Structure 1
Amino acid sequence: MRTLIMKFGGSSVGMTAGLTQVVSIVLNEHERWDRLLLVVSALDGVTDSLTEAIQLARLGNQRGYRRIIANLRTRHFALADQLNLTPTEHRTLDADMDRLLYDMLTHFQRISDHLSEAEQLAVGDAITSVGERLAARIVAALLRQHRLRSVALDATDLIITDDKWGGANPLMEPTRSRLVDQLMPLLESRITPVITGFIGATLDGRPTTLGRGGSDYTASILAECASADAVWLWTDVEGLLTADPDEVSTPPQVIPALTYEQSAELAYFGARVLHPRMIGPLRTRTIPLQIKSVFKPQQAGTLVTDHIAEASSTLQAVTMIQGIGVHGSQSGILTPLLTRINEVFVEVTGAPIEVTISAQSSQESFICFVVPTTAGLDAPPTLAARVGEALARSATLSQWTAQIVQVITVIGAHFDTQHHYAADLMRLVEGLPLLAIARGPAHCSLSLVFAPEDSARALDHIHNYILGRRASAQR
């Protein structure tokens, strides 16, 4: 039986215009597929608001976090009021949302009682999961209003993870067993489940989260475990773009197709449309991914699969992401330096250092550590300050300095053999101080590291070059 998983983002479910599109899309695809699963994010900005409320609770600011909860209640209830639900459906939805908010309030009170750091992280995951739970109930109620059998399901009952709070890892075998027991009977009865993105639970039932933007990851986990035929991500853009429109002067274009490797690199190095970890489960079972606009569903969007036509596999996109660069008058083995920086990354982000880019001479070294977008907007300046302080306090590492840098990454193909692309990029950034350059081992990414003040010009030059290459290929 053919199974489709569709994930809807916060911009789709956070307003009536978007929800109208969601209903239309779901009703249409329900007739075309044997099994249909929906995954939803929290309304736009809700997770950020809950994170802010957690910080206020840790400071003992009861009035502050209660104000945020009250505002979230008002926003969700106002949205429900605009859906023209039947009185019974409306009362049920309001009661469900009030229960979730009341339970969340008890979690905030626990934080105020000065829990240990580990306990605070666990309670924090329970709190930040509420946004998706509220959204799932709104969408399911709206679908029932349109005579589609639907039920909201918490992924805490489906996706089993470890206890790495804030960035949990799924345990696929127990998750697969849960799906067989709890999800498949619904699908066989032609009931459309609306599943909360972003969250899971440990084997003993404690809520966890999969990292910022983790609803995409939820969809791919479910796809692998349910042997889905396709995954569609519905967003507020028409697909993956050649660049972030907020960062370049020339309007970017939609990329028709990418490989799994290219999309994974694009996601890791800054594309916010995709969660960096979502590609892995899809690649395992060769499940195609389509990224489409909820407001322009007739557009093809971007297809991600294991193979794309050679003509479209050269230069695809350019991204920019912040990193932490360290420079010192030392070369050779740098294990003590890497160990200390890794400790700071774990303290600040909860995760170890991952991608590094380095340049060494006989007497000097420069090393760049990419800061994943899932770490949050405040992570780069915090990391730069904390790394700098840690190095300055060390008797053996005080010669090292730390700074924020920008990592510009070109996504393409065959960078291991088509060296003229690297030569062209060097000419494009002529005159701009280049701190480091590295080619990814999958041969589909080429990263250049610049100081923040030089990055905008470099990014613009490279993006215009990519658009020119695409135009030439289409002639």
Structure 2
Amino acid sequence: MENLDIAKFGGTSVGNFDAMTSSYKVVVGNKNSRIVVISACSGVTNLLVELASGKCSDSKINEIIEKLRDIHEQIIIHLENQHELRNYIEGHLKEIKEQTLLANKGTNDQLTDSIVSHGELMSSYLFVALFKHYGTDAQWFDVRSVMRTDSKFSCAKPICEEIKVLAHDKLLPLINDKTIIITQGFIGSNTLGETTTLGRGGSDYTAALLGEALGVATISIWTDVAGVFTTDPRVVKTAKPIPELTYIEAAEMANFGAKVLHPSTMIPAVRQEIPIFVGSSKEPEKGGTWVRPVTKSEPNFRALALRKNQTLIVLSSPVMVGATGFLANVFSVFAKYNHSIDLVSTSEISIAVTIDAGTTTSGKAEISENMLNELRQFCHVKVETGLPLIAIIGNRMSENSGVITKAFDAINKFSVRMICYGASRHNLCFLLKDGDTTEALNELHKQLLED
């Protein structure tokens, strides 16, 4: 099909029957939307992560299972074939409970992925039933049959070449102008058929990967806000919608904590130059944000992003002075334990790095004590956790005098733990001391983004 669109709906867009109905109307309102990728119903993934933690008592397990049952039951009561739908959900709940009991004996990332994957499998099945309820033909598709990944459970990497082959073989033949294909975001499988996940928020990434594999014309990301805002409108009431962003700006925003897009979503879209639309499934008439290779304007300050729960590791050693190979030794240790370094700042005798704790499915940093001990063999190690990071996103910051000064003036009354600037013309990052970041975010927005 020409002009094929993949529509992705987040958890709040499929959180209950009314939300699903709004999302249904969005899909049928665009004749080019033939593939739908959805998340678990709102709140479900968090409940499943709690069960996977291995720390739930029997009473807590039963309480969470009942919550999961009720969330899906509130959708089922509006649909036909309720007996069959309840049996499907009960089958998953039974398996979830069995896996949770295994987690209590000893949890791991593979078991966590298996447990949390039930959320998308249940929501997508009910979404198909809702389409049929409204008289629209829809077909359920298990994305794990095409979303091939490696075996790094909780944050698996897609194998794009295999995804393309599998998507053309199994998914493309199903696409037509009469049937909507409904599938799951977030989950995949390795070559052994074991369930993996792409990390929290990975449903956007799923849509982009499928879009790249199938060569679609557009990717639509539907959420609970009308596009991308200059910052989180729940924190800063004066935040404004942004009509268009470049790929680079959107990637920077996503990477530094903007919740509207998954950080990896840009990568497949950029490779194929696929425009991405971000809008509200509840208020599609309000429009949204287009993400494209280039935009009409490129302001010095475009947006602010907040990323919480950062871990700062400061490594100090006098032997750094004039020495060669110290940084190589440090980075090789991080690579050995599969930790991705985010920000880096150096001085004569120390190096400070940050690690994001929010990218895995469990949302835990899980810094290896063995890694820290190995680092301690050649330097002093200090670890600080739970720190907030504010990133200023913009363009050509280093090319215009006074731009950075304005940013520093706006942050001057707040305690800054680390500053990172220079590697990119598109961001300036402040790692703050722990505490409420609301005031800092509002002040920066007022000084940099409000007329």
Q: Matched residues in 1 for 2:313 and 2:92: separation?
A: 45
Amino acid at match of 2:128: A
Which stretch shows the higher mean deviation, 418-427 or 262-271?
418-427
Determine if contact 2:154/2:360 at 8 Å carries over to the other structure.
no
Q: Matched residues in 2 for 1:257 and 1:373: separation?
A: 27
Q: Matched residues in 2 for 1:199 and 1:389: separation?
A: 29
Amino acid at match of 2:342: V
Percent identity over paired residues: 25
Deviations 1:331-357 (A, max 9, x none): 4434555566667xx5xxxx5123123
Match of 2:447 among 441, 459, 465: 465
SS of equivalent residue, structure 2 residue 397: coil
Q: Matched residues in 1 for 2:221 and 2:71: separation?
A: 25
- Which residue in 2 is equivalent to 1:367? 352
- Displacement, 1:424? 1.2
Q: Matched residues in 2 for 1:61 and 1:455: separation?
A: 34
Q: Matched residues in 1 for 2:112 and 2:362: separation?
A: 18
Q: Matched residues in 1 for 2:158 and 2:333: separation?
A: 28
Which stretch shows the higher mean deviation, 442-451 or 366-375?
366-375
Q: Matched residues in 2 for 1:67 and 1:371: separation?
A: 31
Q: Matched residues in 1 for 2:363 and 2:163: separation?
A: 33
Match of 2:132 among 128, 144, 148: 144
1:36-435 equivalences under 5 Å are 36-55=34-53, 58-59=54-55, 61-81=57-77, 83=78, 85-86=79-80, 89-112=81-104, 114=106, 120-188=108-176, 190-248=178-236, 250-310=237-297, 312-322=298-308, 323-327=310-314, 328=316, 330=318, 331-332=320-321, 333-335=326-328, 352-360=339-347, 362=348, 364-365=349-350, 367-375=352-360, 379=364, 390=372, 394=376, 396-398=378-380, 400=382, 402=384, 404-435=386-417
Which stretch shows the higher mean deviation, 441-450 or 370-379?
370-379
CA RMSD of aligned residues (A): 2.8
User: Cα–Cα, structure 1 residues 188 and 19, in superposed 2: closer, same or farther, change >3 Å?
Assistant: closer
User: Which one has a larger percent helix, Structure 1 or Structure 2?
Assistant: 1
Q: Please, which runs of 5 or more residues in structure 2 have no aligned partner?
A: none
- Which residue in 1 is equivalent to 2:12? 11
Amino acid at match of 1:200: G
Which stretch shows the higher mean deviation, 393-402 or 281-290?
393-402
TM-score (norm 1): 0.85
- Runs of 4+ with >6 A deviation: 386-389
Deviations 1:272-321 (A, max 9, x none): 121111110011100011110111101221111100013x5431111122
Determine if contact 2:346/2:352 at 8 Å carries over to the other structure.
yes
TM-score (norm 2): 0.89
- Displacement, 1:127? 1.2
